[in-house]
Amino acid sequence: MAANIKETGNNQDVVYGAIYLISHRKLGVLTDYEHVKPVTVTVESQGTQILAQIYIFPKKGATGRPPDAYLNTMLEGLRQHGYKEDVIEKVRHIAQNP
């Protein structure tokens, strides 16, 4: 198990992360690696709405919190992208209390 996003129906909910611009070829490589087709969503970044490709993984078995190593990688990525500690703690809390 890793981490996933889900539709909540609440427009106030937020997904914290980063948006990367990659080639169609690289998207194909990533899709082959992930073993799931990407889904197109509209995301807002700095007040601008853009179309993005995301991976939503089908639920298999029990749901729960991501492994500590995966969570630590996610949190370190947020730090590297300049997220403040309050956001990082919010993500940690959500991940540890599914």
**pLDDT tens, N- to C-terminus, the chain (98 residues):** 577 887 888 988 888 999 999 999 999 999 999 899 999 999 988 899 999 999 988 876 556 778 889 899 999 999 999 999 999 999 999 888 87
Which of 69, 47, 91, 79 has its CA nearest to residue 1? 69
Residues 54 and 66 in one domain: no
58: amino acid identity, one letter = P
Residues 20 and 46 in one domain: yes
Report field, pTM of the whole predicted structure over 0.85: no
Residues 68 and 42 in one domain: no
* pLDDT value, residue 59: 74
* pLDDT value, residue 75: 96
Is 7 among the domain residues? no
Residue 6 DSSP one-character state: -
Residues 73 and 47 in one domain: no
Instruction: Residue count of the chain, please give it.
Output: 98
- Other CB atoms closer than 10 Å to residue 38's CB: what's the count? 15
- DSSP-assigned beta bridge partners for residue 50: 43
Is 6 among the domain residues? no
Range of the domain at 84: 62-98
